[in-house]
């Protein structure tokens, strides 16, 4: 990801409803992502910046599950993500 793309994503995050601390945490986490994972996030955030708080919440849930080593927690996070994506796809298909 280029510095310009990262800056644009950072700008979108800074305009979100996340707190300043959450914004900084989100930007830091995004910088650590591999481009293969980051590109879909960037595309989604540009088209639908209102989803950024949900993406951040999902990221934090994934981090907590990994840090705890709780495979059931990980499975729940992934199931919640799948449900969210289905609802999001249904909502955006109606646009």
Count: domains in the chain: 1
Residue 4 confidence (pLDDT) above 90: no
**In this predicted model, what pLDDT tens digit does every residue of 11-27 receive, in sequence order?**
999 999 999 999 999 99
**In this predicted model, what pLDDT tens digit does every residue of 26-36 receive, in sequence order?**
999 988 888 88
Q: How confident is the model at residue 83 (pLDDT cuts 50, 70, 90)?
A: very high
Long-range interactions of 2-11: CB distance < 8 A, separation 24+:
5/42, 6/30, 6/31, 8/42, 8/46, 9/41, 9/42, 9/45, 9/46
Look up residue 51 and give its DSSP letter. Answer: G
Residue 51 confidence (pLDDT) above 80: yes
Give the structural domain span for 82: 3-93
69 phi and psi angles, rounded to 5 deg: 70, 15
Q: How confident is the model at residue 39 (pLDDT cuts 50, 70, 90)?
A: confident
């Amino acid at each position: 990801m280029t510095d310009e793309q990262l800056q644009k994503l950072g700008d979108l995050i800074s305009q979100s409803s996340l707190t300043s601390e959450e914004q900084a945490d989100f930007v830091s986490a995004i910088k650590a992502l591999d481009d293969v994972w980051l590109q879909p996030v960037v595309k989604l955030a540009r088209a639908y910046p209102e989803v950024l708080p949900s993406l951040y919440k999902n990221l934090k849930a994934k981090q907590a599950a990994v840090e705890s080593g709780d495979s059931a927690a990980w499975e729940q996070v992934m199931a919640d993500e799948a449900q969210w994506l289905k609802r999001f796809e249904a909502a955006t298909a109606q646009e």
